[in-house]
Amino acid sequence: MWEQANDINMVHEIRSRTIIYFGLGAITKMPEIFASKALRDVRKVTVVTDNMAYKVSGAWAEVEPFLQRQGLQYLLFDEVRANPSTALIDRCIDLSRKFGTQAFIAIGGGSVIDTAKIAAIMLGYPEASCEQLMQYQFFPEQSAPVVAINLTHGTGSETNHFGVAGIDEKNYKPAIGFEEMYPLYSIDDPNLMASLPLNQTRYVTLDALTHAIEAATAKGAGPFSKTLSIKRADLIFRYFPRIRSEEHTSELQS
């Protein structure tokens, strides 16, 4: 039975390069994160976010005092919108280079985190453009560190090595994937998702279910991805019907 469900003659890869902090209060791990070897010498960061959620969620009330206590200088780039374009990301990159950014903090959902991941790569390649990267016209070998503070639960961008950005002139929205795109650290704190509007909570939950189905049915799916996908679907079917009012709790968000 197990052999029928999983091809034991196929070599599967379990890959994870992101250290994830999950649970109520996970945002308090910021001091520990910036004390790590990879980040302890960082003095300048770009905070990538949209123009509202980082404040409404309560994330900024935790992050800004931390940055001030640590003596970290920061550039606040709060221009990200849903489905970011290469032009927007190029603007983030340009401002970050002028500022002298050494690392990125992304506060938001998939679009925000993708923007930070792509910008972190492009920071070290001033001779190239974001549009070139999105079309695989060059292959990066380095990236600035990214700390992803996730505010939704749909995409999984805070834990993977993929990114999506639109090339407006070509009406084209490609996805890319490079090893260098993994966030160094990720924070999934359900407290920060409590302010997510009811409709958006529903949308991103369905997005999470779609990703679970994709992961379980892909040609390269293995025992590990199938097990996690089945568990994710089980949790969604168990808790999703209870999301009927704005008073959805941290338990449901988790």
Q: Give the SS3 label for residue 73.
A: strand
Region 40-64: mean pLDDT is 96
Same domain for 112 and 55 = yes
Same domain for 247 and 150 = no
Same domain for 120 and 80 = yes
Assigned token pair, 251:
């338990």
Same domain for 164 and 114 = yes
| Terminal alpha carbon distance of the chain | 33
Percent helix, strand and coil across the chain, each to the nearest 5? 45, 15, 40
Residue 119 lies in a domain: yes
Residue 8 lies in a domain: no
Region 199-212: mean pLDDT is 88
Assigned token pair, 107:
């506060």
In terms of average pLDDT, the best of 31-40, 198-207, 216-225 is: 31-40
Q: What is the pLDDT of residues 125-181, one digit of tens each?
A: 999 999 999 999 999 999 999 999 999 988 889 999 999 999 998 999 999 999 999
Tell me which residue range forms the domain holding 50: 15-195
Region 189-193: mean pLDDT is 92
Distance between CA 225 and CA 253 in Å, rounded? 22
Distance between CA 150 and CA 188 in Å, rounded? 6
Would you give the distance in Å from CA 134 to the centre of its chain? 17
185, containing H or E segment: strand 185-188
Phi, psi at residue 102, to the nearest 5°? Answer: -110, -20
Region 192-199: mean pLDDT is 84
Please say whether the beta carbons of 119 and 104 come within 8 A.
yes
Please say whether the beta carbons of 61 and 195 come within 8 A.
no
Assigned token pair, 110:
């998939």
Q: Which of 37, 38, 46, 145 is nearest to 100 (CA)?
A: 46
pLDDT at 187: 97
Residue 172 lies in a domain: yes
Assigned token pair, 27:
């945002």
Residue 183 lies in a domain: yes
Domain holding 78: CATH number?
3.40.50.1970
